[in-house]
A and B are shown apart, each in its own frame.
Chain A
């Protein structure tokens, strides 16, 4: 039924029983996946979960607030190395993750300051500088980066009697779920509305009482917090870190994921993350082609489907709902 009877009902995350049913089905499928599929698929799914968190963060910044940032690799590295160093000291994982996110968030706040003055491509250049700076500092500082051998990070100890790969799968899945719910709640709250207002018309946003400085910085902080978490989880999964994992290409990958997945949509971020993970896996024989595929896909998306994979998905749903009419 489509009938909505109260405002409260309208504000629910899942409004229709059928949506609830499908979300539940997907949830169970994802829960059961590692039991019935080869370990390799579970590993790919884990990577997608981890990336989705970062892409959601990036989407909050680019898609919702309309601030372009190419410094994401820097935040990723800050999150990953914070997590790595803390893990080596032996503190608990969740605290480390929180610290990784917060450290990245703090730097996000700093990088956010130019956004108060700069717009569009100029902001992109300023943030790009940040990403490269972080890489250079790590590459030239053995204490921070762990030297030539890289920084080895203790891996997750299996819990609840699960196997190693299953526990890492579930750990990442629940964190992914947690952050996805956060994103949904955030974008439908007054904060998300303020972000959208800044993106659509900053002067009008200011005149309606949205404090530009506060919300732009908040957007940068939240976005880099997400990216820091992604970095931490990535470090945990990989078990070792080196600066070369966080080159400019990584920032581009996140950017590509946002554009292809769909600007300003949480589902789109997940699709986009899946895209940038799956394409290199599918074309693993032709690694040098991956950037070409990314580039061509972006052009196709921008021309034919500005809303990205999310837009396609919406249209498919609309088609199925109206079937057999069109």
Chain B
């Protein structure tokens, strides 16, 4: 079943066309990787899906419902969570608070409970948060401020925050960039696990082709805001257009 359908999506900033009519379908339960050289519109695509940018033209459907024109917080209620390329964490709070913020949309909100310190909801969600902490191996950093944590941990916290939303569609923007070899392997393994454990469909943008092709069921290549190839990772990597985009003309 098609989870996400994108029709003829286009957006430009001033004179620069970031996306020039993209069509894309994401099936439920798959991991799809988007690759492409710098500035080819990969992150812009994620920004459009999550509502941070408003596209000029085109349509985005999640389970047949249009997401166009909805605000990011509304889209997150629809079941889309994401991480950012340059981490966007709540730096001055603890890892625990960051993960609890990921549960924000699941809270039954009652201001009276907040003011009178009735914390039943909090305890309920704490269980899910602990599950995420277990899954991501963050136990030691539970009470640490995010700003004091090393980069690899911060990256995990952001993934954890997105998982807290229990998303149907998880958008990962370069989940392994900037990590050490060891951490990359670990993250790649975890991303594979997410599908089974949290039942999320994953759309990931990645530069590390080795890891992207290992993870992805299907791969899409972008260049200058256009889709130049689509198919299995091997097919895409052998595609002459893709090779030209990455290595240039002979």
By a beta-carbon cutoff of 8 Å, the part of chain A in contact with chain B is 7-8, 11, 13, 182, 184-186, 188-194, 196-197, 199-201, 203-212, 264
- Determine the residue in chain B with the shortest Cβ distance to A189: B114
Residues of B within 8 A of A11 (CB): 117, 119, 122-123
Q: Report yes or no: B76 in contact with A208, Cβ–Cβ below 8 A.
A: yes
Q: CA–CA, A193 to B89, complex, Å?
A: 13
Beta-carbon contacts under 8 Å, B91-141 to A: 91-93, 97, 100-102, 104-105, 107, 109, 111, 113-117, 119, 121-123, 126
Residues of A within 8 A of B119 (CB): 8, 11, 189
Contact partner of B101 among A189, A203, A210, A211, CB < 8 A? A210
Residues of A within 8 A of B109 (CB): 190
Q: Least Cβ distance of A173 to chain B in Å?
A: 20
**Does chain A have a CB within 8 A of B223?**
no
Q: Report yes or no: A211 in contact with B73, Cβ–Cβ below 8 A.
A: yes
Contact size range, B: 35 or more
Q: Report yes or no: B93 in contact with A196, Cβ–Cβ below 8 A.
A: yes
Ranked nearest first, the 9 interchain pairs of A and B with the lowest CB-CB distance are A189-B114, A209-B105, A204-B88, A209-B76, A200-B90, A206-B72, A185-B117, A11-B119, A7-B126
Residues of B within 8 A of A13 (CB): 117
B72-88 Cβ-contact flags toward A at 8 Å (1 or 0):
11001100011010001
Q: Least Cβ distance of B164 to chain A in Å?
A: 8
Q: CA–CA, A264 to B105, complex, Å?
A: 24
Having A201-B88, A208-B105, A209-B73, one finds 12 other A-B pairs with CB under 8 Å, namely: A7-B122, A8-B119, A8-B123, A190-B121, A192-B114, A194-B101, A201-B90, A201-B91, A205-B90, A207-B50, A208-B161, A209-B76
Q: Report yes or no: A207 in contact with B93, Cβ–Cβ below 8 A.
A: no
- Determine the residue in chain A with the shortest Cβ distance to B116: A185
**Does chain A have a CB within 8 A of B66?**
no
Contact partner of B89 among A200, A209, A264, CB < 8 A? A200
**Does chain A have a CB within 8 A of B2?**
no
Number of A-B residue pairs at CB separation under 8 A? 105
Q: Report yes or no: A209 in contact with B77, Cβ–Cβ below 8 A.
A: yes
The 16 listed contacts between A and B (C-beta, < 8 Å) are A184-B117, A188-B117, A191-B111, A193-B100, A194-B101, A197-B101, A200-B89, A201-B88, A201-B90, A204-B90, A205-B101, A206-B52, A207-B72, A207-B82, A209-B165, A210-B104
* Secondary structure dominating the interface of A: helix
With contacts A7-B123, A194-B101 known, is A201 near B89, CB below 8 A? yes
Q: Report yes or no: B165 in contact with A200, Cβ–Cβ below 8 A.
A: no
**Does chain A have a CB within 8 A of B63?**
no
**Does chain A have a CB within 8 A of B71?**
yes
Q: Among A194, A199, A209, which residue has the most Cβ atoms of chain B within 10 A?
A: A209
Contact partner of A204 among B89, B105, B115, CB < 8 A? B89
Q: Least Cβ distance of B86 to chain A in Å?
A: 11
Residues of B within 8 A of A8 (CB): 119, 123
Q: CA–CA, A191 to B107, complex, Å?
A: 11
Q: CA–CA, A33 to B157, complex, Å?
A: 48
Q: Report yes or no: A197 in contact with B90, Cβ–Cβ below 8 A.
A: yes
Residues of B within 8 A of A211 (CB): 71, 73
Q: Report yes or no: A206 in contact with B73, Cβ–Cβ below 8 A.
A: yes
Q: CA–CA, A177 to B92, complex, Å?
A: 27
Q: Among A11, A203, A208, which residue has the most Cβ atoms of chain B within 10 A?
A: A208
Q: Least Cβ distance of B38 to chain A in Å?
A: 21
B199-221 Cβ-contact flags toward A at 8 Å (1 or 0):
00000000000000000000000
Q: CA–CA, A208 to B115, complex, Å?
A: 23
Q: Report yes or no: B73 in contact with A212, Cβ–Cβ below 8 A.
A: yes
Q: Report yes or no: B107 in contact with A190, Cβ–Cβ below 8 A.
A: yes
Q: Report yes or no: B101 in contact with A208, Cβ–Cβ below 8 A.
A: yes
Q: CA–CA, A72 to B82, complex, Å?
A: 37
Q: CA–CA, A193 to B114, complex, Å?
A: 11
